[in-house]
Structure formats: C-alpha cells, structure tokens
Amino acid sequence: MEHDYTLTIYSESQFHLLNKLSSMFIRKGIKVLSLNMSESEIEKIYRITIVVNERKDNVINLAAQIEKIIEVYKCYYSHDDEIIYRQTALIKISTAALMSEKKIEKLLEDNELRISEIRSDYTILQATGQVEDINYLVEELTPLGLTEFVKGPRITLISSCPGFSIEL
C-alpha cells in the first residue's frame, strides 16, 4: 500500500545531485509531491527533502540507491508519523472580501492566518501548518474571494533522529 514518505538527503552538491535524482525518479516512474533544497546545520553540506507517495519497500530501495551516489553522505526515509513537518502558503484574496466577510475573520482567528500585506484591491495572507490545514484554508477561502495561492515545499525534521551532524 502506498503512503507518503519523506526522503531527507545530505549532500555536498545540490545541483549535480538534483540532475541524478531527477533521472532516477523518471526511470522508476516515481512522482515527487514536494521538493525542498536548503543549507544544512553543517557548513557546505546541503539538505534536500523530497516527498513521494510509494510503497515502503520501494522507498527503502530508493534510499539505498540514493546513498550510493558519490555526492550523498546520508539518505533517511521517514513516514509522516516519524517527522515534524510544516508547509507555508501565500494566499491572495480581495481586500473588499476581507473587510465584508465575517467568515474570513473567523478563519484568521481559528487557523493562525497572518496578514502579510494589504493593498486597496487585494490582501496577502500567510498560512503555516500541516498539508491538510493549508488545503482546508484554500477550500474555505475560494468561494470568499481567493484569487491566487502558492504553496511552499514541505519542510521537515525527523523526530527520532539525533541529527546528521551528531551522526557524522
């Protein structure tokens, strides 16, 4: 049975690795749900976070193959209940709707929505939470004047792992 798994990869080169990973995922027919690249807690080592929806045995094999790539130091795989994760979204709604819809005010209070910017014709809201939280907000705001939104990639920390820097 397929589930969402998060691959956390520590590497010295993010651009060469991205090309190799892309080829590997295309060859295996694996769809990437989210991709995030950033600096890690260790100088000159990058952290790449990839979310896939696959069977566990496929993810185990994939992680083992990724670790064989020369630039990769370590590849962890984690199920959603083994990580702490968040996603951020920017949501553009009509300022008129914000001022007139009481439901938007309630959504702001109940869902930790932040107003990032207000213009005369639109307002930018910022939401941070679980994937389901962001999807819920988009569904609720669409009939109330949502004109545009963008979701950022998932960012994660592995709950049970002491950290790559300690393992290194």
Handedness of CA 49, 55, 60, 62 (dihedral sign): negative
Token pair for 7: 């691959």
Radius of gyration (Cα) for the chain, nearest Å? 19
Topology of domain 3-83+158-167 in CATH is Alpha-Beta Plaits (3.30.70)
pTM of the model: 0.83
pLDDT digits (tens, 9 = 90+) for 38-69: 998 888 899 999 999 999 999 999 999 999 99
Pick the CATH number of 84-151 from 3.30.70.1150, 3.30.750.24, 3.30.9.10, 3.30.1180.20: 3.30.70.1150
Helical (H) or strand (E) element with 137: helix 131-141
pLDDT digits (tens, 9 = 90+) for 102-137: 888 888 888 878 999 999 999 999 999 988 899 999
